Structure 1
Amino acid sequence: MTEATEYDVVVVGAGPVGENVADRARAAGLSAAIVESELVGGECSYWACMPSKALLRPVIARADARRVPGLRAAVQGPLDVPAVLANRDGFTSHWKDDGQVSWVEGTGTALYRGHGRLAGPKQVSVTAKDSGEVLLTARHAVALCTGSRAVVPGLPGAAEARPWTSREATSSPHVPGRLVIVGAGVVGSEMATAYQALGSQVTLLIRGDRPLPGMEPFAGELVADALTEAGAVVRTNSSAVAVERPDGEGPVTVVLESGERVEGDELLFATGRAPRSDDLGLDTVGLTPGAWLDVDESLRVRGHDWLYAVGDVNHRALLTHQGKYQARIAGAAIAARAQGVPLLETDRWGMHAATADRLATSQVVFTDPEVGSVGLTLAQAEQEGLRVRAVDQDMGAVAGAALYAEGYTGRARMVVDLDREVLVGVTFAGPGAGEMIHSASIAVAGEVPVERLWHAVPAYPTISEVWLRLLEAYRG
Structure 2
Amino acid sequence: MQPTQEDAYDVIVLGAGPVGEVLAGRLGEAGLGVAVVEDELVGGECSYWACMPSKALLRPVAALAEVRAVDGARQAVDGGLDASAVFARRDGFASHWKDDGQVHWLDSVGAQLVRGRGRFDGPRRVAVETPEGGTRLLTARHAVAVCTGSRPIVPDLPGVADARPWISRDATSARAVPPRLAIVGGGVVGVEMATAYQALGSTVTMLVRGDGLLPRMEPFAGELVAEALREAGADVRMGTSVTGVRREAAAGGPVTVMLDDGGQVVADEVLFATGRAPRTDDLGLETIGLEPGSWLEVDDTCRVKALDDGWLYAVGDANRRALLTHQGKYQARIAGGVIAARARGAVELKTGPWGAHVTTADSAAVPQVVFSLPEVAAVGLTAAEAERQGRRTRVVDYEMGQVAGASLFADGYRGKARMVVDLDRGHLVGVTFVGPGVSELLQSATVAVAGEVPVERLHHAVPAYPTMSEVWLWLLEAYRS
Which TM-score tier does this pair reach, normalised by the shorter chain? over 0.9
2:274 — aligned with what? 271
Runs of 4+ in 1 over 6 A off after TM superposition: none
Kindly indicate whether the alpha-carbon contact (under 8 Å) linking 1:343 and 1:352 is maintained by their aligned counterparts in 2. Answer: no
Return the TM-score normalized by structure 1: 0.99
Aligned 1:341-356 pairs, distance under 5 A: 341-356=346-361
Of 88, 94, 97 in structure 2, the residue corresponding to residue 95 of structure 1 is: 97
* Secondary structure of 2:31 counterpart: coil
Structure-1 separation of matches of 2:67 and 2:252: 39
**Is 1:285 aligned with 2:288?**
yes
1:338 — aligned with what? 343
2:410 — aligned with what? 405
* Secondary structure of 1:318 counterpart: coil
**Is 1:433 aligned with 2:435?**
no
1:36 — aligned with what? 38
* Secondary structure of 1:154 counterpart: coil
1:373 — aligned with what? 378
Post-superposition shift, 1:342?
2.7
1:474 — aligned with what? 479
Aligned 1:66-465 pairs, distance under 5 A: 66-247=68-249, 249-304=252-307, 305-465=310-470
Please, what is the CA RMSD of the aligned residues? 0.9
Percent identity of paired positions between Structure 1 and Structure 2: 66
* Secondary structure of 2:387 counterpart: helix
Kindly indicate whether the alpha-carbon contact (under 8 Å) linking 2:115 and 2:131 is maintained by their aligned counterparts in 1. Answer: no
Return the TM-score normalized by structure 2: 0.98
* Secondary structure of 2:37 counterpart: strand
Kindly indicate whether the alpha-carbon contact (under 8 Å) linking 1:20 and 1:324 is maintained by their aligned counterparts in 2. Answer: yes
2:305 is aligned with what amino acid?
A: R
2:149 is aligned with what amino acid?
A: G
Post-superposition shift, 1:193?
0.1
Of 20, 23, 35 in structure 2, the residue corresponding to residue 21 of structure 1 is: 23
Post-superposition shift, 1:344?
2.8
Kindly indicate whether the alpha-carbon contact (under 8 Å) linking 2:338 and 2:349 is maintained by their aligned counterparts in 1. Answer: no
Deviation readout 1:305-348 (Å, 9 max, x if unpaired): 10000000100000000000000010000000000113332233
Structure-2 separation of matches of 1:301 and 1:201: 45
Structure-2 separation of matches of 1:308 and 1:472: 45
Post-superposition shift, 1:76?
4.2
Structure-1 separation of matches of 2:315 and 2:201: 38
1:472 is aligned with what amino acid?
A: E
Deviation readout 1:179-216 (Å, 9 max, x if unpaired): 00000100000000000000000001111122111100
Structure 2: 5+ residue runs without aligned partners? none
Post-superposition shift, 1:431?
0.5
* Secondary structure of 1:351 counterpart: coil
* Secondary structure of 2:177 counterpart: coil
Structure-1 separation of matches of 2:407 and 2:468: 9
Structure-1 separation of matches of 2:176 and 2:252: 15
* Secondary structure of 1:21 counterpart: helix
Post-superposition shift, 1:75?
2.1
